[in-house]
Every structure is written in structure tokens, then in C-alpha cells.
């Protein structure tokens, strides 16, 4: 949750915001961190969970195709390519897609590597897939960039970067709770 204070004349109006005015001096706006970040960044399409899952599957399929083509990776033994292919197939299962998306979001928010995140109890079940998860993370990011879309993690990262770059915003105070 992000709480922001600003003068009444500067008050942004967005659906999903809750605003409170005291004596007409300032307004307190309550919004989610995602809504706050979205207000600071260039307008881009934000992926729904369903679309994010679709793009993740696309990334995994692309990597699987690469595993099948020995000419692209002649230095990689066939057994290694087969293991990677099998790991990618396991990750593309419906029950794993949501878990992988969650891991990728968590890694992005924590600014951590896949290996660091799979070392936690929450994602320990994905630890055997570290090698391919690094490639999946890169391919998924490349596909999002190519399509000109962002996910919620990207929205937060871009909002943070906008503030760091000095983006103008009509707030005098910002309080972020539990981020």
C-alpha cells in the first residue's frame, strides 16, 4: 500500500484510489504499490496473469526448440541437451507455470538470482531446474520487451527507476508499507 499526501490542486484522480481531505489543506491518497508505480511510468500494456503464463510458455517452447537443434549448441553434449529439454517440459506443465511466474516475480522484486530464490524454502522444489530457469528468465524478459508489454514486477521496477531519475510527481510525502 502506498500512502501519498499532496495539495488538493495536485490531487491525481485514478480509479482504485481512496482519497481523504482534511480541512481542504491536503489530500491523502491510498493506492496499491502497483497503481502508484503505474502512475509514474510510460503507459504500456500490463500483462494479465493469463497472458503472462502464455508468454512464459512461449519462452519455454523456444528454449525447447533450441535444445533439439544440436547445430546451435555443438559443444553441449546430447545428454545435457536432453536433460534441459526434459526440465523445460516439466516447467511447462500447468501446475508449474504459476510457480515459475511467482519465482520470477519474487527474484525480480528482490533483485536476486534464480539460484538465490530457489535456495529459499518457498521455492526449493524448483532448485533442480536452476540451470534452465536462468535461461527461461532471460527469454521471458526478451519476449516481453519484443512485444512491448510489462508485468507487475516490471511496473514496480520502472516506477522505482522513474523516481530515481527524477520523474515529476505531485506528491509531497510517500509512505510505503510492507514492500
pLDDT confidence of 33, banded at 50, 70, 90?
A: low
**pTM metric for this prediction:** 0.75
Q: Is 113 helix (H, G, I), strand (E, B) or coil?
A: coil
* Cα distance between residue 149 and residue 43, in whole Å: 10
Q: Span 51-69, mean pLDDT?
A: 93
Query: Which residues lie below 8 Å from residue 38, measured CB to CB, with a gap of 6+?
Result: 46, 155, 159
N-terminal to C-terminal alpha carbon distance within the chain = 8
Residue 15 predicted with pLDDT over 50: no
What mean pLDDT value characterizes the chain?
Answer: 81
* Cα distance between residue 168 and residue 152, in whole Å: 21
Residue 176 predicted with pLDDT over 50: yes
Q: Is 95 helix (H, G, I), strand (E, B) or coil?
A: helix
Contact 179, 60 (CB under 8 A): no
pLDDT confidence of 46, banded at 50, 70, 90?
A: confident
Residue 109 predicted with pLDDT over 80: yes
Q: Span 56-74, mean pLDDT?
A: 87
Q: Span 154-164, mean pLDDT?
A: 82
Q: What pLDDT is stored for residue 40 in this prediction? A: 73
Q: What pLDDT is stored for residue 133 in this prediction? A: 97
Q: Span 110-134, mean pLDDT?
A: 95
Amino acid at each position: 500500500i502506498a500512502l501519498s499526501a499532496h495539495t488538493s490542486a495536485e490531487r491525481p484522480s485514478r480509479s482504485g484510489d481512496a482519497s481523504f481531505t482534511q480541512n481542504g489543506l491536503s489530500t491523502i491518497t491510498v493506492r496499491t504499490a502497483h497503481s502508484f508505480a503505474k502512475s509514474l511510468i510510460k503507459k504500456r500494456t500490463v500483462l494479465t496473469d493469463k497472458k503472462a503464463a502464455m508468454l512464459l510458455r512461449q519462452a519455454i517452447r523456444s528454449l525447447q526448440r533450441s535444445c533439439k537443434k544440436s547445430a546451435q549448441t555443438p559443444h553441449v553434449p546430447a545428454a545435457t541437451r536432453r536433460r534441459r529439454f526434459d526440465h523445460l517440459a516439466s516447467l511447462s506443465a500447468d501446475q508449474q507455470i504459476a510457480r515459475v511466474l511467482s519465482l520470477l516475480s519474487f527474484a525480480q522484486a528482490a533483485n536476486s538470482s534464480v539460484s538465490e530464490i530457489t535456495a529459499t524454502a518457498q521455492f526449493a522444489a524448483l532448485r533442480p531446474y536452476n540451470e534452465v530457469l536462468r535461461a527461461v528468465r532471460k527469454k521471458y524478459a526478451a519476449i516481453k520487451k519484443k512485444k512491448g508489454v510489462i508485468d507487475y514486477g516490471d511496473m514496480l521496477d520502472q516506477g522505482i527507476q522513474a523516481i530515481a531519475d527524477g520523474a515529476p510527481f505531485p506528491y509531497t510525502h510517500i509512505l510505503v508499507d510492507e514492500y
